[in-house]
Chain A
């Protein structure tokens, strides 16, 4: 191992251990209650993770939550970003989810037409 390797490994691992401890830039919470799963949350979650790993984004924490009481707009993803309002996206499909990753997570602009609430 050389000094340069040390730095590379550290950067790579710091990201993954930070994620493990929930220290990401963005935290995306997928609603995985019975209602969410019935509405297709599992496919949304898979699409979300797939898109994140395809784009090699290493600062996004993905977690799940139970039903939030907004069953009619499931599948839902809540997006938490430091210093910004929490944004809730609803009525999602795998395609819409991939759009959120590209436009919101990468380019930093909220996908307004998919937002159901923000606070």
Chain B
């Protein structure tokens, strides 16, 4: 029977934890009561992105957006909207800037200013349905690759697109694929890094939860391109829903012969397995990750040798991040020219940012590379809460640095943010106001990396510990002025000498805040004053 309405109910982890399923159950009950269950279809989708307003739902065909749904709201939605065709305005989004109620999702600046490639299907399709994925061009890319393209053609397409690694370092993806392709070995591996450990970033989780087939398809394409027939997805244990949905998607793909032998009746075969991490931040570092996949202790190695030469079990290994893979199928379908037309000269495509902190619309947003911080915060993010003034934004989490208010019009791309001393990183974006103390911020992140340091190399193990001790003294007003220079010296040495990416980037939050907010550090030491009123609080 034709359905009159489709309710796209966000079933991302965030909306579920804010009560999405109790609303769903109430909705189902209410529909039964009114005998409307045949005319309304409920589709549980992945994350819609605007997590602050959860649980959210979008009702089609009208496209009405409902927010903060409670079980008791089901009654009104059914009796007003589904029975009488009148959308319930009290549950709609109110735009704080324009001070008006917005009915349709497409009219909300949060959605209309985004460009979705990576998140194109999350929040739109049922992540557990292969049919819905195929309906959105799913597996078109793999079919094209296996039947019409040589592995070299695939690599050329990815290279021409200008796609760069979205895990943090921004290394050209096509080049990496070519290195692995050119490595001579009987056995090669394809790995997906889904050990998203950056506090506040959750785009990888969202893709795995909302569009798991896109990663399976992209990894299969990668396998064909580099000459591998075995893949691993390394997911952190803290993402149970992502693991569950990915597992189900892998089972379905095997059943439909989209994994395994003779895919699309070609000689190509590809196997895929999930490896679940055990909650160590350092396992997001590729060499540590591969040790963990092998069942060893998750500690890093020096590079070279790079994974492309000697990776998993000493075999050539391709390792990319979830968001990077999520771009692959679209590049194959729409072509490298299309992809490279988006973004800036050296940073192509889009980037997903996880908005957190002092911002009205916290959640996930995807924008073309080169979008300014101002556009993200004020247009898409809905601005700062009342009474808050923008001070800085922390980018790239514990490995990144901050962008102060005077650089708010900086376009966010790999090169521009590097000039400011930070990184795009995985895309964590924490917005801060006058109420954030920069010393405290640096201390928070250093405390995190210090805690997560694996202990293998002394620079990271002892160096970050010493830095943290100095920061703690500063925040208590017990430090000496000369210790600021020591802090910078230590930081620079650790960046140069630490074994892996975790250690090399651990001092960044400290060095970056020292670069822009040195006076705050001196204030703590000289005046025993914290202008954000965070430090020196008397314990009750």
Chain A residues at the B interface, C-beta cutoff of 8 Å? 1-3, 6, 9-10, 12-14, 16-17, 19-22, 24, 27, 29-34, 37, 45, 49-50, 52-53, 60-66
Contacts and interface: CB of A to CB of B under 8 A. Distances in A.
A3 B147 contact: yes
A53 B86 CA distance: 25
A36 B84 CA distance: 9
B6 interface: yes
Contacts of B265: 2-3
B135 A65 contact: no
A103 to B, nearest CB: 19
B2 A3 contact: no
A3 B135 contact: no
Given A3-B264, A9-B135, A53-B1, A21 B85 contact: no
Given A13-B134, A33-B84, A49 B4 contact: yes
Given A3-B147, A64-B4, A64-B84, 6 more contacts: A9-B135, A10-B135, A17-B135, A62-B2, A64-B82, A64-B83
10 contacts: A6-B143, A9-B131, A16-B135, A20-B60, A21-B60, A29-B85, A50-B1, A62-B4, A63-B62, A66-B84
B140 interface: yes
Counting chain B CB atoms within 10 Å of each CB, which of A9, A19, A27 scores highest?
A: A9
A31 B5 CA distance: 15
A8 to B, nearest CB: 9
A17 B4 contact: no
A81 B43 CA distance: 27
Contact of B61 (A1, A12, A14, A20): A20
B136 A6 contact: no
B134 A10 contact: yes
A62 B168 CA distance: 46
A24 B139 CA distance: 25
A22 B64 CA distance: 12
Given A3-B143, A62-B2, A27 B61 contact: yes
Contacts of B83: 32, 37, 64
A34 B147 CA distance: 57
B135 A12 contact: yes
A69 B132 CA distance: 39
B89 interface: no
B10 to A, nearest CB: 15
Contacts, number: 92
Contacts of A60: 2
- Chain B interface: which size bin? 35 or more
Contact of B85 (A3, A22, A63): A63
Contacts of B497: none
Which 9 A-B pairs rank lowest in CB-CB distance, beginning with the nearest? A13-B135, A22-B61, A64-B85, A65-B85, A1-B256, A20-B6, A9-B134, A20-B60, A66-B86
Counting chain A CB atoms within 10 Å of each CB, which of B2, B61, B83, B134 scores highest?
A: B2
Nearest to A30: B85
Nearest to A22: B61
A86 B485 CA distance: 75
A10 B134 CA distance: 5
Given A21-B60, A22-B60, A66-B85, A45 B4 contact: yes
A31 B493 CA distance: 73
A30 B4 CA distance: 10
A56 to B, nearest CB: 10
Contacts of B82: 64
Interface string B29-61: 000000000010101000000000000000011
A49 B85 contact: no
A45 B84 CA distance: 12
A48 to B, nearest CB: 9
Counting chain A CB atoms within 10 Å of each CB, which of B125, B131, B257 scores highest?
A: B131
A14 B125 CA distance: 12
A24 B2 CA distance: 13
A34 to B, nearest CB: 8
Interface string B1-41: 11011101000000000000000000000000000000101
Interface in B319-337: none
Contacts of B60: 20-22
B409 interface: no
A6 B61 contact: no
A63 B61 contact: yes
Counting chain B CB atoms within 10 Å of each CB, which of A6, A19, A49, A65 scores highest?
A: A6
Contacts of B139: 1, 6
B273 interface: no
Given A6-B143, A9-B131, A61-B61, A1 B85 contact: no
A4 B140 CA distance: 11
B137 interface: yes
B498 interface: no
Contacts of A24: 61
B63 interface: yes
B4 A1 contact: no
Given A1-B257, A10-B134, A10-B137, A19 B61 contact: yes
A63 B3 CA distance: 9
A14 B135 contact: yes
Contacts of A37: 83-84
Interface in B377-410: none
B233 interface: no
B325 to A, nearest CB: 20
